Structure 1
Amino acid sequence: MLMSDAVRRFVHANASISGRIVPSMVGKTHAYTRYDEEGTNLLQREPHTVLDVGAGRKWHFTPALKSPDMTLIGFDIDGDEMEENALLDQRICGDACIDLGVPEQSVDLIMGRAVIEHLHDNAAFLRSAHRALRDDGRLIVTFANRYAPFAILNRLLPRRISHWLLTHLVPGSAGVLGFEAYYDRASFGEFKQSLTDAGFEIEEEYASYFSTSYYSFFLPLFVVGLSLDYLRYAIANPRLASYFLFIARKQSMASSGTAEVESAEVSRRPVEGAAR
């Protein structure tokens, strides 16, 4: 018990110092911050039906953004996780890779914060999301890159060990982190291709590079991790990112049909310089 208390004090002391020296840009450039901003913009358009996938215990936006005419549906594989989520008008429990539990073309906005990395078949999820959305409906998701340093470590370590490390060395992770992660198609190129294959038009893609909070339990490791994050940030290659944000739109049948006609007309035009 004494050793456990000593370790706990050591971790919290290091985390406290790390929190004081972390640069403000770490939070400002994080994909979660961008998700909050862009999600707020989409909610201010007053969508009638919003589906929050991986809803969990709380909605990640201010209650003021839930307009009186909005129906907020929570979806989670663990129904108990949503019991405390008081803003939800409806709760659906199930596997998002099989079915989202809503009628086709019944949703205006699908949101997912830190859920993509926990789905075992993201291609199937995106197809289900596309079917659930109305024409011109949006999907916004933010998730960890499968090639982020902490994600690679998470896959290499046995789950019971990674769960123990999170619980004991990352303050505030209990009940928030530690859920099983698959990182299926959760790289930059793979997820973009999956969106396109599912029929989405990508409106925004964003990458962030800082993930130092995982190392705050030991100050020297935190400093090394922060230095490496700065290097990846300077290189600015999304394949090296820690987190992504994507916003994608389900094209309306009318606009899709127009695009196909225009494409066909272009393909029938003679190429300049071709032999006649």
Structure 2
Amino acid sequence: MNIPGKHRMDREDEKEMNIYANADPINSFDVRTETENSDTKRHQTPQHTGSDSVKIRSSRAALVCLVLLCVLLLIAVIVLGVQLSTNNSTNYTEERNELLTNNTNLTEERDQLLTRNMQLTKERDGLSSNNQDLIKQRDQLNKEKTELSKMDGWIYYQSSFYFISSESKSWTESRRYCTERGADLIIINNTEEQDFIMKMSCSKAAWIGLTDSDVEGTWKWVDGSTLTSGFWASGEPNSYKGKDEDCALSHSSGWADFPCNDHFLIICEKKIFNSVN
């Protein structure tokens, strides 16, 4: 079966071969090589193009995944940073408030300690002053003891020295007698002292430092203090038979008021600590 197209193709091929045969061998070789390479490229191009497309798509997909992964990682880092920043801010705020509270408490404690220290300093100074006073009183007491020990009849009791005379005088003379010896008529402050005087005087009547000569009925001690309670005998004071009985004495039954010009024994008292002051 004869195909017209096929005969034409054969004749054209023969012509080309004749042309190549008559042409320059080198050029014809280059032409053939280029033709072969062109034919090879025509046959290989579709295969290489398809493989490159697959690689490109794979690369793009990998790149997209990498970008998404980076974006997710960046988002995670941002979220984590925000959370950490929030937590740190909260923790810092709490710690700051706690430190402020502690600082306030420490300031208050410091102020209290300073106040207490000032109080203790004042107390220390007061104790030091009292100690010095006690030392002076002790020295004065020792001095008085030394001086009074040379005088017959003086007795020491409850920070005072007492003396009862063997002679009788009026109340005014009796007081002068005591003051000349650095003492005064006795001031009785409590039951113990009253009992002591009774034993010392053997319950004999003796003048004490009590009088209402300034205001009738208002009895005062020789130091100017007003009598608040006493050891009056029953019915005393009474201004017996309308007499001016403005001076007090102590006897076996207690106290009694008598005329100041009457003569009785004398009880003198020398207060050691009062003399120091």
TM-score, normalisation: structure 2: 0.25
In terms of fraction of residues, the more strand-rich structure is: 1
Q: Which protein has the larger Cα radius of gyration, Structure 1 or Structure 2? A: 2
TM-score, normalisation: structure 1: 0.25
